[in-house]
Amino acid sequence: MYQEVKLELIFLLPIFLPFLTAIFLFLNKKLFNELITNFFTLNSALLAFVIAAYSFIALALDKFKPVNVELFQWISNPDISIGFTLDGLSGIMLILVTGLSFVIQLFSTSYMEKDENHCNYFVYFNFFVFSMLLLVMSSNFLVMFFGWELVGLSSYLLISFWSKKPAAAKAGNKAFVINRVGDFGFLIGLMIILDTFNTFDFYKILQNTSGIAESTITAISLFLMLGAFGKSAQFPLFSWLPDAMEGPTPASALIHAATMVTAGVFMLVRISPLLQHSKIASLLIIIFGLITALLAAFSAINQFDIKKVLAYSTISQLGFMFIAIGAGAYVAAIFHLVTHAFFKALLFLGAGAVIHSMHHEQDIRKMGGLRKKMPITASMMGIGTLAISGIPPLAGFWSKDEILASVFVNGGIYYVFWALTLGAAFLTAFYMGRHWLLIFEKDNGFEHPDVAEAPKAMTRPLLLLGIFSIFIGFINTPFFHGLEKVLHVTLENVEVTHLPKGITLVVLAVLSIGAGFTGLIIAFLLFGMELHKRIDLKKFKLESPINLVKDLSSNVLYLNKFGNLFFVSGMKNLSRKVAVVVDGMLIDGSVNFVSTAFNKSSKITSTTQTGLVRNYVVYFGLFLLLLIALFIATPLVPR
């Protein structure tokens, strides 16, 4: 009992600590210089992480029995309260968010050095961490929705952090608006939930799924899925994420790679007891996940902005997580979320270090040959590249292999899905290999005399994340189901797709490793050895198809233009028509009618005002006569 009460109080601390830090820094931002700001924000982040780790260990000792704290009940019927929960799922996210927040803030202190809004950056950053923890630690949909909206806000603030750049301001707006589309679906889903279950509490909802009609569950799942698509940048709603790269690179690392964009995955795993009852929703999730994974991987092939490649790669990896959810492999989805968080944060911070050393040059065509100048960054980004490509024994291999195997084991149409996922994994290895080679290896004929290794405050986080990117995969291997044990209680009533046994698993693993290696080797042949320059492309009539692929890739299959044409222009035309018909004709018309009516009638009556005194006297006399006539005609009434 003693233990329980203590834990309940303690795990709330990391949630509100960043919030207090944000307020504290905001209030004192004129007072503090960079050093003091760094001191407070780093110590608060470290403290939050230590407490989070302590809570997680205490939870582990208690066999991951969920701990619930209800702060207060807001409305008793329907049952709406403000509460938090610490179970396996939220515990993992708690550690992940606070840990990465500390590492990335350490990196930020150097990256944001001498920025005029240095303190504001950390205010927003801490505010984001608070919002994200609110999202993941909530014990009901309402608090989750608060966090959901707040991460959108803080993401907006950080994307348009350098708001003097028009592109940054625009990108922030775009992210916010597209996220609203998803949030709209999320909100409708919440309304259906409240109508069906009369409560927002996860445990009350997720344990009472048996008596609910499948159509209702499907409706809820589909609307929540839309919310997840918006936040996690899935196929129709993904175009905001590449634009979001206008923000500071460390913020992109935490928000647009490691944590916020995975909120959709987290939420879908959270509602997995509902989701498993809806075959349609699961099928749609896996299809959209596949489209996203392939499309984003394809788009990443011919990007030249160092961060945009990583952005498309993030979208693609999020697609993998959605594939896992659609295949019922919820543990694999969370596993990939965790590993991806580490190696993608590593890659982003590495990109940040490169950008910093290159004096804010982001075009990878102007880099090349940086390996000798920045050996630590190059090797750490190499580890990240190998990890995301799925090369054993690095982190990405274990999680990606688990996803692939889980898709395969479902059978039927899922064999096709498996093959396509494998294709996406191959593309991943290819574009990541290209990315690394173009930055660090290939000689582009540019001299970089003043480029040197990034400062220690940058390389140390890189080293730390590099070590994690190698070893984090071992938390859930086919031989050691660590993550499954952590999530066991959370996913108690859920049928999780298990890995195939024996030789099938080995064959699948070999195939996935093969895809990764093939991708890397082809990337090396093309961009390391420049094979395409040695063969005569015209002889094989390959030039035009290659150019077509390049064109389609760098324009994202022209989806942005398509969306612009259909949604933006269509909406503009519609609103123009509304402006003309409703506003111009109806509203302006009625207002104008009133004014012209008065104008005309007063014109008519004003003709009696001749300005001649004699005429007025005549009117006066006439009315006098009328009065006298009335006086005479009215019979005297006796009192």
Partner 1 sequence: MIQRSEKVMLEVTTDWYLTLAAILFSIGFLGMMIRKNALIMFMCIELMLNAVNLTFISASKHFGQVDGQIFVFFILVVAAAEVVVGLAIIVSIFRKQSSASVDVLNVSRG
Residues that bind partner 1 (CB under 8 A): 605-614, 617-618, 621
Q: Smaller CB distance to partner 1: residue 445 or 611?
A: 611
CB of 601 to partner 1, least distance (A): 12
CB of 603 to partner 1, least distance (A): 8
The verdict on whether omega for the bond into residue 248 sits within 30 degrees of 0, i.e. cis, is no
CB of 614 to partner 1, least distance (A): 6
Q: Smaller CB distance to partner 1: residue 33 or 605?
A: 605
Q: Smaller CB distance to partner 1: residue 280 or 628?
A: 628
Q: How far apart are CA 150 and CA 24, in angstroms?
A: 18
Whose CA is closest to 45, among 24, 10, 17, 83?
A: 17
Hey, what are 292's tokens? 């996203």
From residue 540, alpha-carbon distances to 532, 546, 549 in Å are 12, 11, 16
CB of 615 to partner 1, least distance (A): 9
CB of 606 to partner 1, least distance (A): 3
Q: Which residues of 568-592 are buried (b: 16+ CB within 10 A; e: fewer)?
A: eeeeeeeeeeeeeeeeeeeeeeeee
Q: What is the DSSP letter of 62?
A: T
CB of 626 to partner 1, least distance (A): 15
Please tell me whether residue 500 adopts helix, strand or coil conformation: coil
One-letter identity of residue 505 = L
Q: Smaller CB distance to partner 1: residue 35 or 604?
A: 604
Q: Smaller CB distance to partner 1: residue 35 or 612?
A: 612
CB of 591 to partner 1, least distance (A): 25
Q: How far apart are CA 500 and CA 507, in angstroms?
A: 11
Q: Smaller CB distance to partner 1: residue 210 or 607?
A: 607
Contact 181, 152 (CB under 8 A): no
CB of 573 to partner 1, least distance (A): 47
Q: Find where tokens 């394809």 sit.
A: 298
Q: How far apart are CA 542 and CA 458, in angstroms?
A: 43
Contact 45, 107 (CB under 8 A): no
Q: How far apart are CA 306 and CA 361, in angstroms?
A: 9
Q: Smaller CB distance to partner 1: residue 565 or 622?
A: 622
Contacts for 634 with CB less than 8 Å, ≥ 6 apart: none
CB of 637 to partner 1, least distance (A): 22
CB of 582 to partner 1, least distance (A): 37
Q: How far apart are CA 342 and CA 335, in angstroms?
A: 11
Q: Smaller CB distance to partner 1: residue 39 or 598?
A: 598
Q: Smaller CB distance to partner 1: residue 5 or 617?
A: 617
Q: Smaller CB distance to partner 1: residue 304 or 620?
A: 620
CB of 593 to partner 1, least distance (A): 23
Contact 152, 176 (CB under 8 A): yes
CB of 174 to partner 1, least distance (A): 58
Sign of CA dihedral 249, 106, 137, 16: negative
Q: Smaller CB distance to partner 1: residue 502 or 611?
A: 611
Helix (H) or strand (E) segment spanning residue 39: helix 34-61
Q: How far apart are CA 195 and CA 272, in angstroms?
A: 19
> Angle at CA 449, nearest 5°, toward 444 and 450?
120
Whose CA is closest to 203, among 271, 297, 142?
A: 271
Please tell me whether residue 81 adopts helix, strand or coil conformation: strand
Tally the residues of the chain: 639
Q: How far apart are CA 243 and CA 460, in angstroms?
A: 28
Q: Smaller CB distance to partner 1: residue 568 or 617?
A: 617
Q: What is the DSSP letter of 587?
A: I
